[in-house]
Amino acid sequence: MAAAALEWLAAACLLLAVQVACEYGMVHVVSETGGPKGKDYCILYNPQWAHLPHDLSKASLLQLRDWTTSMLCSPSDLPAKGFSNQIPLVARGNCTFYDKVRLAQGSGAHGLLIVSKETLVPPGGNKTQYEEIGIPVALLSHKDMLDIFKSFGRAVRAALYAPHEPMLDYNMVIIFIMAVGTVALGGYWAGSRDVKKYMKHKRDDEPEKQEDEAVDVTPVMTCVFVVMCCSMLVLLYYFYDHLVYVIIGIFCLASSTGLYSCLSPLVQRLPFGKCRICDNSLPYFHKCPQVRMLLLALFCVAVSVVWGVFRNEDQWAWILQDALGIAFCLYMLKTIRLPTFKACTLLLLVLFIYDVFFVFITPFLTKSGNSIMVEVATGPADSATHEKLPMVLKVPRLNASPLALCDRPFSLLGFGDILVPGLLVAYCHRFDIQVQSSRVYFVACTIAYGIGLLVTFMALALMQRGQPALLYLVPCTLITSGTLALWRRELGMFWTGSGFAKDLPQPPWAPASAEGPQPPKDSEVVLSQQPPGEAQVKPTLPAEQPPELAGPEDVAGVSAQEPKSPVSHTPEPPGLPGASA
């Protein structure tokens, strides 16, 4: 077992080393005839061949020569005059990267760009080859090559450079605020909503209305949910181009519903549009809806449709996607309810394993060596549709960097990294109100979520690869809430608490048990104004006594449903009707 574990660890380190050796750079292209302003294009290079300067001013501007009609695999593929002080463009294939760059260097080239119609991969080699080669070699996409010659013509110059990649982009601050704010607001709203419904149920002394939307998660539902997640992720990996439109459609429907749920409390406060439309044949509007609610529904659907039509507009569509995504998350946090800390622990731990497996383990199981989770979340590079899954918060990178230009112009955070810990935060808020703890659990769990998110960002900056956020969020939130419950000596109650219909402490106006002292009632206030002798005798009249023998005070002091006598400082004589058992 130990040897196998060491082998897996070595393989993981090897995978990480391969990814670190692969770096993104830029090729800055300008026209020799002084045409349009220069433009940067993405390249993928291996610094083990030769390093690129970090500053464009220190990079040599050399002639870019189109030699893509040749594979450059043999000396016969070289031009008669060589590539003196040039950067040749050659086609990928038929031989190794080392064969191509060795021939280019021998003919006087100062760099080599290999044009690829497939997914860009790092140009690899071995240590001996790295020591022999002294010019940079990089891969350029075929699409970018066509754009270069279309925009600048055939007479162009190019400079290869690799500016420093910032450890963290400023857009992480925006993602952090959106994520923590959504978790805090959703958890607070879900807890407050459940408590208000419970208190109304107690005051009215009638069963909870059937229109309650909340759904308690059971262990069976948790297992079914995880199996569905795994199945959908694998299906998306193999059939991405077909299923991505299904996911986009589901997101449009769900996000418009969530937006309606979030805005309806605000719209209901408006002083106009209260008139109702009773005679209608609209679906889901059979209860005489108000005009303002119909207008709100149309607005939410319109927002969702606008996003669906312009979802690929990178300049502003991400704002609509984030707004709809936050509304969807708030709606789910309000609708789905974890009844116990035991259920919270089960759900978070199972999804913790799910997240780690599909990010860190699946690269060893796929032919491409890519993580299934990262591949699906960012969209496969060979996708014919070039669509992206909308189930993420996305913010464009604010720093000019090769990563923003090449691979990921947006920073992403999946909805699951908000919803899963958010369900625990909502449970903590409900438990706070249950034990009247001034929301200490809610605040502590929200802060723990923020700390876990910061740790995720740090791991992302250090490893420079996609991270399973639940790897850091689940331990932070679970350990913090569990430790707090243990410190407050409420762990047993926190572990098995099951909502409010059973466990919430009785309010002051609720009747106490027969064995304990009862709270003061209105009847006792009336009786306290009578002489001491009457205060003890009149409430305990036998049930068969005619009503006319009792005065108005007795009617106020005796309840037809509760024949027990009020609490008195002097013990009642045994055997009197109505005495407490």
Rg (CA), the chain: 35
Question: Pick from 65, 16, 62: which is nearest to 161 by CA?
Answer: 62
Task: Give the whole-angstrom CA distance, residue 175 versus residue 398.
Answer: 12
Task: Give the whole-angstrom CA distance, residue 64 versus residue 87.
Answer: 5
State the burial class of residue 495 (Cβ atoms within 10 Å of its Cβ: 0-12, 13-18, 19+): middle
Q: Which residues contact 33 (CB under 8 A, 6 or more apart)?
A: 153, 155
- Nearest-5° angle of CA 422, CA 424, CA 426? 70
Could you tell me if 68 and 145 are in contact, meaning their C-beta atoms sit under 8 angstroms apart? Answer: yes
Q: Within 10 Å of residue 561's Cβ, how many Cβ atoms?
A: 4
State the burial class of residue 309 (Cβ atoms within 10 Å of its Cβ: 0-12, 13-18, 19+): exposed
Task: Give the whole-angstrom CA distance, residue 506 versus residue 511.
Answer: 8
- Token match 């959703």: residue? 186
Task: Give the whole-angstrom CA distance, residue 561 versus residue 420.
Answer: 47
Q: How many Cα neighbours within 13 Å face the side chain of 140?
A: 30
Q: Within 10 Å of residue 531's Cβ, how many Cβ atoms?
A: 8
Task: Give the whole-angstrom CA distance, residue 273 versus residue 225.
Answer: 41
Question: Pick from 134, 164, 157, 160: which is nearest to 59 by CA?
Answer: 160
Structure tokens at 87: 């950067």
Helix H, strand E, coil C: the string for 159-171 is EEECCCCCCCCCH
3-state helix, strand, coil in the chain (%, to 5): 50, 10, 40
Question: Pick from 356, 352, 385: which is nearest to 372 by CA?
Answer: 356
How far from 526 is each of 210, 543, 566, CA to CA, in Å?
39, 20, 11
Question: Pick from 381, 377, 402, 380: which is nearest to 391 by CA?
Answer: 377
How far from 100 is each of 407, 417, 458, 555, CA to CA, in Å?
25, 45, 39, 105
Q: Which residues contact 76 (CB under 8 A, 6 or more apart)?
A: none
Q: How many Cα neighbours within 13 Å face the side chain of 71?
A: 10
Catalytic residues: 355, 417
Question: Distance from CA of residue 296 to its chain's centroid?
Answer: 26
Task: Give the whole-angstrom CA distance, residue 382 versus residue 118.
Answer: 8
DSSP reduced 3-state for 485: helix
DSSP 570: S
